[in-house]
Structure 1
Amino acid sequence: MRFDIITVLPGLLESPFAHSILQRAQNKGLSEIYVHNLRDYSSNKHKSVDDYPYGGGSGMVMQIEPFAACIEKLKAERDYDEIIFMTPDGETFNQEIANGLSLKKNVIILCGHYKGIDQRIRDVYVTREISIGDYVLSGGELPAAIIVDAVVRLLPGVLSDETSALSDSFQGDLLDAPVYSRPADWRGHKVPEVLLSGNQAKIEQWRYEQSLERTQKRRPDLLE
């Protein structure tokens, strides 16, 4: 799977993609992540990509031409399944969306800044608008990194245990059950006996019951 991320701050994305699971996915050839500097597509000598909004008001607006130039260059090289704009007024990102995106092959993500991007970019090019929550950040880079992380870990072969992602919280609309490791007894706090029993059927039943109980307490909306 290939991601092309368009941003005015490419350096902000260097670290998230250079470590851990995302790094391994790229080293294995299972995912490609390319970050494009929007300023490279500016036509003025100052490499600016923003201007004052028509109609007045506070803030600056990201211009249409640099985005259009970058998107059209990429689309001339390959077909894209989605062109995503990260925005607070998009649909709220969840596991179901991540699962769906993991089936795609080529995805572009646009990172906004300032007051936003020219609406015509959203009208002409964007196929999906996604938010990571009801709050505003300085730009779309961190949300883009979250999308990539959530999706790439679902790709076959990325995780050493391919069943791990299937048992994560929100898969099947349930939060994950509590997990334990060694030692079995830490300062009087003991691992539940069922997990030490070796009876896999009872263990799975316990995990399901714990997932259901945790979801009912913390996120009852998921059960609706």
Structure 2
Amino acid sequence: MSSRWIPLESNPEVLNSWANKAGLAHTVQFSDVYGLDEPLLAMVPQPVKAVVLLFPISPESEARRRTEDEEIKSNGQPELDPTILWIKQTISNACGTMGLIHAIANSDVTVAPESPLAQFIDQCIGKTPEERAKLLETTPLFADIHAQAASAGQSAVPTNLDTDLHFTCFVTAPSPAGTGMRVIELDGRRNGPIDRGACTDLLADAAKIIREQYMGESQSMQFNVMSLGPPSDYS
């Protein structure tokens, strides 16, 4: 990867600091998802526009990733909405910023028209994932916003920038076949967007995917889930 950033801490304060500096309207924000069972999911402000997951990278998760990527390469997957904006990750430790851009750019949330994020999204349209990655590499403002948000976390900035934690996110997109909405996983380390199946309720569907695809293979407690939606006190 071309360079290395400070890992982004996974908590709403840090993610909202990043998002507000980049141009996300204050009518939406990132909130903690305290658990994946129905009573705890019911506490999350609705409607949920995206779900962001921080998970530990392990030998098991890497083996699953390689196997799934090969299966998709060999057998394909359902046709994806061509308007999905996905960026290939080329900057080490930038997965937090990647997850935030993927979540916001692929949701119907308000971004200030002249903001850095709005301009970046506009510049990404029509470009390949690799060209978008190069654009991110050469846009110093995002590196600055990422560094400011990373330094604002509750933990001290690490001197060792190696990390085994990674962000991915889940959004919805219409099926080009006209069969309804789909859950799409967007992870810059993968080969492209991944169709995770029909969507009836994004938060509940993402919770099931996280339990089965991520937590089911791990004994780690280093998982964190956040939602993008209205603030709990917003009306």
Q: Same fold (TM over 0.5)?
A: no
**TM-score normalised to structure 2 length:** 0.27
TM-score (norm 1): 0.28
Q: Compare relative contact order (CA 8 Å, sep 6+) and give the higher one, 1 or 2.
A: 2
Higher Cα Rg, which structure: 1
